[in-house]
Amino acid sequence: MLKQILSKLPRKSSSSSSKGGSSEHGGASNGRTHGGVKSNDLATKSVNSALVSQPHHGNINNNRAQLSIGVNENQNPNGNLNFTSYEALPSFRDVPNSEKQALFINKLKMCSVVFDFADVTKNLKEKEIKRQTLVELVDYVTSADVKFSESVIQQVVRMVSTNIFRTLSPQPRDNKPVDGVELEEEEPSMDPAWPHLQIVYELFLRFVASPELDAKLAKRFIDQSFVLRLLDLFDSEDPREREYLKMTLHRIYGKFMAHRPFLRKAINNIFFNFIFETEKYNGIAEILEILGSIINGFALPLKEEHKLFLVRVLIPLHKPKCLAMYHQQLCYCITQFVEKDCKLADTIIRGLLKYWPITNSSKEVMFLSELEEVLEATQPPEFQRCMMPLFRRITNCLSSPHFQVAERALFLWNNDHVVNLIKPNCKVILPIIFPALEKNARSHWNKAVHSLTLNVQKIFNDLDHDLYKECLQKFEEIELKKDEIKEGREATWRHLEELAGKRPASSEAILNGKTFTRNSAS
């Protein structure tokens, strides 16, 4: 009786069982990821090789009815499509051209399912199927030779949004050292879902860059709300994700001209919040890198909006303590403005002086390096407007006990353009910096600083010997007066000590030979 009942039960086909077995075998290697992306596009070959390196899952036949198998158009509360059976769909090469767009849309819907990567042993087969499907979608978008339809654009944006827009889980943001190491120096947090996220970003990057994408049609779906959510992701801890976001946002800025003013305003808001509120944001360097390219393309004469951006955003970005994280990109943006309009050099130099660090020597070295780059693009008229406050600050740097600060300030005279700016204004500049130079030459503890100081003194001596002698004479007169004042002060203290020594047991206060009797406490 039992055998008769069992014989009537439906049996799984051998093909389906082979699918499941091979999928689980292939899913074990799904943790393989590509390295960080430094070029604008990840080579198609590298994406395809990742697919080839994995075992093929299941026997995909040419039955076109399979295009819609297992797809449920209803969405669950989390926004993910429900699939009654997550099985691989046919390859694009196995269907005629007339059905490729329908297959493309179905594959996009299939990839709108988001898996949990917190558990590496969960859904191995489904994760591998999705990864292979995403690689196929990248190849399809790259080789597309027909304009993308509205339904395709909508589905691509929906799939990308479902995968990448999520709640970021940043590391604790606290500057307090832990076991002697600051948190900023710790390894960044890597997203475990990156094997899928990377290919989704690659797909969207190529989709936006594709000549088959109509920007006027696509801006209905890649709208301001989408762009804002994309900007929010720049706070990701994963540097690989920020690199892709940088390339993607740059493409969007270049292709969607209608979004440009809104994008600039949204970026300004991020910077304002960073400068004046939190001083914490992971993607400042990447956003500045995008802006460097944008500033390079500004038309002349510069609009007032762009000049205000320089004064209100870029210059105050020197204020945060974590300047080192993005200083290289910020410096490039600043120098781009000077090269665009040399009259802005005075504004920029005075801005740097306003935010000049007083007690942070590492930031001071960065400021001096940036100052040299700005001076290289500065013309004599602008230099003359700001040279007095500038060299008063440089004098303080020359006098710094921190040898790197003094050394970096002296390196300015190794720059021919800076020296050519100084020479015609020697009569103004030398009297300002001469005392610092002379003190370094006489008593600075660092040999390198002492040697560089002698070289700078020789430049000024050869340039105007009479002026140099005059400055030296004034310096010695001032030093002599300082010695006299010092001796007088020491004599006063000796006199006070003698007076105090005459009445050691007295309760009377002594001041310059006069006595003042204290009132008794009783």
For the stretch 193-224, pLDDT in tens is 898 999 999 999 999 999 999 999 999 999 99
* CB-based contact 102:78 (threshold 8 Å): no
pLDDT confidence band for 510 (50 / 70 / 90): low
Higher pLDDT, 515 or 88: 88
Separation of CA 401 from chain center = 31
332 belongs to a structural domain: no
Cα atoms found within 13 Å of the Cα of residue 443, Cβ hemisphere only? 6
Q: How many CB atoms lie within 10 A of CB 256?
A: 19
pLDDT of 511: 53
Per the structure block, which two tokens stand in for 366? 């960065």
368 belongs to a structural domain: no
The whole-angstrom separation of Cα 194 and Cα 199 is: 8
* CB-based contact 157:226 (threshold 8 Å): yes
State the first-to-last Cα distance of the chain, in angstroms, to the nearest integer: 118
Could you give the residue ranges of the DSSP H alpha helices within 111-184? 124-142, 150-164
Per the structure block, which two tokens stand in for 172? 């604790």
pLDDT confidence band for 482 (50 / 70 / 90): confident
Of the candidates 42, 31, 65, the one whose C-alpha atom is nearest the C-alpha of residue 139 is: 42
SS3 category, 33: coil
Q: How many CB atoms lie within 10 A of CB 298?
A: 14
pTM greater than the 0.85 cutoff: no
> Per-residue pLDDT for 512 more than 90?
no
Q: Is the peptide bond before 320 cis (omega within 30 degrees of 0)?
A: no
Per the structure block, which two tokens stand in for 346? 């005075």
- In 190-243, the DSSP E strands lie at none
In degrees, rounded to 5, the angle at the alpha carbon of residue 296 between the alpha carbons of residues 295 and 297 is: 90
Per the structure, the count of domains in the chain is 1
Task: Give the pLDDT confidence of 93-106 residue by residue, as tens digits.
Answer: 888 888 888 999 99
- In 379-424, the DSSP E strands lie at none
Domain that holds residue 442: 386-499
518 belongs to a structural domain: no
175 belongs to a structural domain: no
Within 8 A by CB and 6+ apart from 73, the residues are 81, 109
The whole-angstrom separation of Cα 161 and Cα 248 is: 14
Of the candidates 102, 95, 107, the one whose C-alpha atom is nearest the C-alpha of residue 136 is: 107
484 belongs to a structural domain: yes
374 belongs to a structural domain: no
pLDDT of 67: 34
396 belongs to a structural domain: yes
